[in-house]
Amino acid sequence: MKCPRCGSEMTVDTHRKYNIEMCYNCGYTEGRSSGDGQQAGATNFQHMKELNMNELAVFLSEGVGVDKDKVFSWLCAAHEE
């Protein structure tokens, strides 16, 4: 199943009474209300503004298919300017 927030593959969490889908990329949990820190209907750009550089590198590399280290080095170079 694809995550509705970021589009990456979700993982089944079996450590609860019932299995739920979770996204380890952005933290989305199936069935959680919109009060989990992100507004309902927030865009990917709004979500990216809340990520730190490591989370942003993973988010961009999985979505675009570029090597995570290349994205991270690009973000570090842009941040130093």
Q: In whole angstroms, what is the distance from residue 6 CA to residue 27 CA? A: 10
Q: In whole angstroms, what is the distance from residue 35 CA to residue 48 CA? A: 18
Structural contact between residues 53 and 75, judged by C-beta atoms closer than 8 angstroms: yes
DSSP 29: B
Structural contact between residues 71 and 65, judged by C-beta atoms closer than 8 angstroms: no
pTM over 0.75: no
Q: What is the mean pLDDT of each run of 10 residues along the chain (81 residues)?
A: 80 78 80 55 72 79 79 77 59
**Would you state the pLDDT for residue 6?**
77
